Structure 1
């Protein structure tokens, strides 16, 4: 009896898709209402972000960036979801989700400074974003709190957060969803299932067939989406946002995606746990190639337009890294003074010692 119940639940979570691997519309009824200009803007953002990823990897290898988590392969999941938001919505990102807060308004040079661990990289004045969370899953409980705050203030906005499949194995994941569900808070929980967390296959993380079905236990909406299909991701988040601001509670969205690079640039070797055949299989699903085919069929995209985006991205990245390089270096006294409004006696002593050293 119990096994049949589980199978019935799992059968309800079929992957939602609009655009197939060949760039063909397979679900006309679900097609979002986007103008030609909006479709082009989505493509612009994905191409730009792919170049940003390539350049960031290069800068990391040169020692000019610090911590960096590659994003290639996840552009549709990241940017399709962000594009569905209102400027006043809140984004609580994980460490791989810097592109979303850049497109939400964070200056590119500050994204580079965040990678370097500089406090200026965490200053997002006037933007409804939090700093990328390094602790796996901690942003889930924080999002529940931000969303409840929005509800109590009567705001018609949502709080959206992102984690990977590994984050869905954390206690904070369940606690945050349960809290948000209990209070019908306007939250959207996006789990970008790139299949391996740091290195453990998703099949070994959970006995559940999908991550989306975990929404059932929290009493909230759950949907699994083709995370390589930018239109499907956009539509799923648009619908989730509409439900949230109408008081219908949070949604868990599992985007089926793939990171082409390592987990981070800090020594991870994906060849130790991923096969060439699997990499090749997912490369055929590339979100940019797929969307390019669709736009080209509508005469909305061509090689010239793409080259313009690539050139613009390279130019702006060059300017941003130069501005980051020109930012005054962080000092020990900066760390101390930014941590406390009033320094305890032991830190006052240390502050004075470091202040004397830095003034020489």
Structure 2
């Protein structure tokens, strides 16, 4: 590097940052680099010219970095529903706040009823949201035209957007009115009209898909973003890393929302990773990152609004790590007492319940009381049970839905499979009882 004045002399004379333009070769090509010199407390820090890490600086001290300062967790309310800093108060209307609370309560009651339904053998599978309901605040922080890629604990987002109780029940029963035509397990919701992509069972597949969809939005010029939900267990998949990297390098308008509830199925987070949660990974990829109290609905709401603004207005991907606690079992296939003490669960249920925290906030504003609570819980339970009863009585979709919509036009192998199934049903009718299916297989 050549310069008319030494870098150290320039820094000492000006007592500020100075730049030096230098040239270097990579694979025979000539590059220009500006090496910034920092003058702070008699210490000169020369920025490295290498393109692989341009934010670094040279040092003569050899030090292996094991960790950095813990990433703070943003919150608005304490456990008693009191706003800690008035400047962070969401300043929302009564109707807006009450709607969010009602959606959270609805989700909680819905979970209890459908969990019991699975235990009775009436549906095949279910996953509850118990303890994590505050994520509904993220739905409130988005625009209705923003595209959502969920995992399987985002029914509250759909409720907020207008997904009906009938639509939820029809999907869980895989009946003839199921929007997914009976092709998915329960809780694998999807809604084109609500911009909610159908959920997939394999972990983390939705994360790179979200980055791609966000890039498409950017190319289209639409002023919207993609919201992608996943758990900390999914963040252990390779798809997570590929998705964050492409989102960062291509400046995709996507918000990654990680629900870190402490357990990936049966694996405690302490056994999943050694770093500072999931948030530290976003920083590593050069993504705007924030950690939030996942049991504080207003903290989640505030963060989501600001994250959306960064994504839409500046094409900057954002990673939100929401720290919460899964009170329920991972799913109806899980018994969490095998890997965590029940006393721990009870303590979380008693001390830091998202529903209780928001209810106290509402009561502090004189927007809710015991009578309203009882009245709403009674009425919504009746509505849920009514939708439950209707969905249970409906037939399964037509058997032809196995073959429809797989391709734009049926391929020869699809046609052959359909004909083979028809012959089997005709030959062995007792082995293929279709009386509970729409059209009873007559349209094969």
Using the size of structure 2 for normalisation, the TM-score is: 0.75
Residue 255 of structure 1 and its aligned partner are, at CA, apart by: 0.7
Distance 1:5 1:300, change over 3 A: farther
Alignment correspondent of 1:169: 236
Alignment correspondent of 1:192: 259
Alignment correspondent of 1:313: 380
Contact 1:91/1:101 (<8 A) preserved: no
Report the more deviating stretch, 256-265 or 60-69: 60-69
Structure 2 residue 153 is the aligned partner of structure 1 residue 93:
no
**3-state SS, counterpart of residue 163 of structure 1:** strand
Residue 93 of structure 1 and its aligned partner are, at CA, apart by: 0.7
**3-state SS, counterpart of residue 102 of structure 1:** helix
Distance 1:44 1:354, change over 3 A: same
Paired with 1:90 and 1:327, the residues of 2 have a C-alpha distance of 31
**3-state SS, counterpart of residue 232 of structure 1:** helix
Distance 1:270 1:247, change over 3 A: same
Structure 2 residue 163 is the aligned partner of structure 1 residue 81:
no
Contact 1:144/1:180 (<8 A) preserved: yes
Paired with 1:346 and 1:210, the residues of 2 have a C-alpha distance of 47
Alignment correspondent of 1:46: 104
Q: What are the superposed Cα offsets for residues 245-269 of structure 1, whole Å, 9 maximum, x if unpaired?
A: 1124111111111121110112x11
> Where do 1:120-269 residues align within 5 Å?
120-122=178-180, 124-266=191-333, 268-269=334-335
Contact 1:97/1:132 (<8 A) preserved: no
Q: Which has the higher helix share?
A: 1
Paired with 1:2 and 1:160, the residues of 2 have a C-alpha distance of 41
Structure 1: gaps spanning 5 or more residues: none
Distance 1:355 1:327, change over 3 A: farther
Report the more deviating stretch, 194-203 or 314-323: 314-323
Residue 326 of structure 1 and its aligned partner are, at CA, apart by: 4.6
Paired with 1:236 and 1:30, the residues of 2 have a C-alpha distance of 10
Contact 1:146/1:159 (<8 A) preserved: yes
Q: Which has the higher contact order (CA 8 A, sep 6+)?
A: 1
Contact 2:227/2:255 (<8 A) preserved: yes
Paired with 2:120 and 2:342, the residues of 1 have a C-alpha distance of 27
Q: How many residues align?
A: 356
**3-state SS, counterpart of residue 319 of structure 2:** strand
Residue 345 of structure 1 and its aligned partner are, at CA, apart by: 2.9
Distance 1:292 1:3, change over 3 A: farther
Residue 204 of structure 1 and its aligned partner are, at CA, apart by: 1.1
Paired with 1:161 and 1:125, the residues of 2 have a C-alpha distance of 16
Report the more deviating stretch, 167-176 or 34-43: 34-43
Alignment correspondent of 2:344: 278
Q: Which has the higher strand share?
A: 2
**3-state SS, counterpart of residue 73 of structure 2:** coil
Structure 2 residue 177 is the aligned partner of structure 1 residue 113:
no
Residue 342 of structure 1 and its aligned partner are, at CA, apart by: 2.8
**3-state SS, counterpart of residue 259 of structure 1:** coil
Q: What are the superposed Cα offsets for residues 301-336 of structure 1, whole Å, 9 maximum, x if unpaired?
A: 111211232123222212322342354412432111
Structure 2: gaps spanning 5 or more residues: 1-60, 181-189, 426-440
